[in-house]
Structure 1
Amino acid sequence: MTITAEPTGFATELRRWRTLRHRSQLDLAIAADTTQRHLSYLEQGRSRPGREMVIRLAETLGLTLRERNALLLSAGFAPAFEDSGGLDAPRLEPVRTALRGILDGHLPYPAVVVTRHGVLVEANAAFSLFTEDCAPELLRPPVNLRRLALHPRGMAQRVLNLPEWGRHVTESMRSRLRASPDPEQERLLAELESYLPRSEPPGPDYLGFAVPLRLRTEAGELRLITTLTSFATATDVTLAELHLEAFLPADEPTAARLRSRARTGQA
């Protein structure tokens, strides 16, 4: 099946993605098992690609499923990957059930499922640890976990190492945006950065922004590290864009406080 598209759309998109990925024509051509001459013709709009070539180039460039569908459309082909439109779609019920089992199995530690934009989809009972004292407007659906984390009336008021941990959040976003530009997320990034204190240049002991979250609670300070899981083999756009974020205790006092919290019925 083909779809009418602007003749130069694919050529423009192919050049844009190759530039974003910092790939030369020769490098991309070799990796995609074609010739530099053919790739040059495609980028000039002098040749029309076959569907298989578009898919191969998209895969070689490391595009997301949503981006691969868009590249196919720009070349006049139908999307290759289905999009359920949300985790509540009937066909994803088995996945939903499995995810809830994983979230509950992670207790007494917090765990969440979020979209590519950081919107909260599912959470276990220990997530209430992060919502304490947060402004009600930040908790109205759809809840954006990144905004909740860094907003002055959100978690940020209890984060003891906000400058360092906040930069970890924003730098992770910036890294993703370099690979896959998104105007909506760029606006959110600018908003989040406005909440963070101005930071001094890194000193000689600087180890990067990958630091544990230090969170103040009534039970004492909690130190948490994060694991991030994506669904790498998913062929559904919605599922491929979800991430499971699980928080783990960085030390024994944190683990003990979280276990005690669960025993008293707080999680």
Structure 2
Amino acid sequence: MSIVPSGPAAVPTAPADAGVGPLLRGWREQRRVSQLELALRAGSSARHISFIETGRSRPSEEMVLRLAGHLDVPVRERNELLLAAGYAPRYTETPLDDPSMDALREGVERLIQGYEPYPALVVNATYDVLAANRGIALLLDGVTDRLLVPPLNAIRLTLHPEGLAPRIRNLRTWRDHLLAQMDRQIALRRSAPLRALYEEVAAFPVPDRDAGADDDEPPGPTPLFALPMRIEHEGRVLSFISSISTFNTPMDVTVSELAVETFLPADPATGKYLHTLLS
């Protein structure tokens, strides 16, 4: 599955009359950082930070970016801070199908294809699937067609009762993990679309207990060094642990919101089975 565009780029907006001060204060309070601590990090003074937050002082463009960096503000929201302070956005938002993204798209596609036979996919900030390899396609057997209409959403596909959910043996545990992951992302990005997705999938029905709660443990040493997803496929139970990778120091909004999720076999039987199917 090739990388597909994630939709039109959103235009950053900011409250017309609030200014940058209240926005910076909101990020500082969300990160639980005092004015003094932020001032020390940014090489400023607590008084200057207070003046910025109350609107008594207009920060320079450099100061806005410095404070945003120390508060771990996502790239998209840094543009919003700059706009609120009266400056032009610093970070571009380039569509994935733009020719300038050719090298990135080809590199990511080679990465996930090279990971086969193990499943791997690329998602954006709201978990829409932009690319996936044959390992992912294998797991989608039996998913209702209406969930496979682009844009596919990884969280919805996983937790929907007509998606992967009926075949996930430890659904309650895996669901809790995914919802906690989304909750952390919502706190980081303060994203309304992500919050809407969270509320949608959290309302999906969930069994009283996991289907695999009484399953025997697979033979041999199987140390639980990470939470596995245990899913049925053609009468077998496959076990995976996942890893998520992002780009270091992105300078583009689109790139900053890309994530590559890979699934590694959690036991030898799963790895052997995948190699047999996709070799």
Q: TM-score, normalised by structure 2?
A: 0.86
Instruction: Please say if 1:224 is aligned against 2:261.
Output: no
- 2:113 match: 104
- 1:235 match: 251
CA contact (8 A) 2:139 2:233 kept: no
Determine which of 91, 99, 117 is the counterpart of 2:100.
91
CA contact (8 A) 2:75 2:253 kept: yes
Q: Distance in 1 between matches of 2:16 and 2:258?
A: 31
TM-fit CA distance, 1:153: 0.1
TM-fit CA distance, 1:129: 2.0
- 1:64 match: 74
Q: Distance in 1 between matches of 2:15 and 2:192?
A: 23
Deviation larger for 179-188 or 75-84 = 179-188
- 1:165 match: 174
TM-fit CA distance, 1:199: 6.7
- Which consecutive unaligned segments of at least 5 residues does structure 1 have? 201-209
- Which consecutive unaligned segments of at least 5 residues does structure 2 have? 1-13, 210-225
TM-fit CA distance, 1:233: 2.2
Q: Distance in 2 between matches of 1:56 and 1:195?
A: 41
Amino acid at match of 1:25: Q
Give the root-mean-square deviation of aligned CA atoms. Answer: 1.8
CA contact (8 A) 2:169 2:231 kept: yes
CA contact (8 A) 2:74 2:188 kept: no
- 1:33 match: 43
Aligned length: 251
Determine which of 64, 67, 72 is the counterpart of 1:54.
64
CA contact (8 A) 2:128 2:151 kept: yes
Matched-pair identity in %: 38
- 2:153 match: 144
- 1:204 match: none
CA contact (8 A) 1:111 1:246 kept: yes
- 2:196 match: 187
Q: Distance in 2 between matches of 1:198 and 1:72?
A: 46
Q: Distance in 2 between matches of 1:196 and 1:56?
A: 44
TM-fit CA distance, 1:179: 2.2
Q: Distance in 1 between matches of 2:51 and 2:131?
A: 46
- 2:131 match: 122
CA contact (8 A) 1:134 1:154 kept: yes
Q: TM-score, normalised by structure 1?
A: 0.90
